[in-house]
Amino acid sequence: MTPRPARTFKNAAYGHLARVGKALASPARLEILELLAQAPASVDALASEVGQSVANTSHHLQALKRAHLVRSERQGVQRIYHLADEDVAGLLRQLQAVAAHHVGELQELTRAYFEGGEGLEALDGPALLEKLRADEVTLIDVRPEHEYLAGHLPGALSMPLSELETRLESLPRGRTIVAYCRGPYCTFSAEAVSRLRARGYDARRSEVSVQDAVLLGGGAR
């Protein structure tokens, strides 16, 4: 068989890569991927989380599906969306890391939001692992419970932000509480830390997510 001309091949190959890049070129789609990295979800649930109409959210999901980044299945009357594979979550994390390293505006935005209050400076993965191994902290997962049940960091307690005030008595007063949520741009952990500190707890936040489970000594539970 005669090989295709090199330029024809390259144009086609980079065209497929560009389709993935185009699918990612939307703030709402990136947030949708972050949500699906936590747990499968319906269109309605995703629309509520990202602050978009169901129609717009469905449009974004179809763009992601055409790029083979998500898949769906019918469950009763609902269509449930999943990441196509775990490597899609890895792609999102790598994009976040590259942008955080190179985009000064993102660095300034993140610094202004998260470093404005005591305890909001983040514990990174290695620092958190060291404290967990020394049994110096209690780790809480402040995502919604269904995300915790889909997978969580080893040893983490489920403490959804919406239930934090009603479950404070279950948290030890004599230990540092570390809250985590969905990753570096999730605000639940910062809100949890602010509430805990206002009630006299020694609390810190971490930027780790369930995708960092292997770095913390095991897979997601």
Residues with Cβ within 8 Å of 111's Cβ and at least 6 positions away in sequence, in order, are none
Q: Token digits for 201?
A: 């707890």
Residue whose tokens read 């009630």: 199
Task: Flag whether pLDDT at 106 surpasses 90.
Answer: yes
Say what the pTM is. 0.90
State residue 120's pLDDT score: 73
Task: Flag whether pLDDT at 148 surpasses 70.
Answer: yes
Catalytic machinery residues: 181
pLDDT tens string 109-139 = 999 888 766 657 888 888 999 999 999 999 9
At 192, the amino acid letter reads: A
Strand order in the sheet with 70-75: 41-42, 78-83, 70-75
Q: What is the mean pLDDT of residues 153-167?
A: 95
Is beta strand 122-123 parallel, antiparallel or unpaired with respect to 78-83? unpaired
All structural domains of the chain, each given as residue ranges with its CATH number in brackets, are: 6-88 (1.10.10.10), 117-216 (3.40.250.10)
Q: How far apart are CA 130 and CA 41, in angstroms?
A: 33
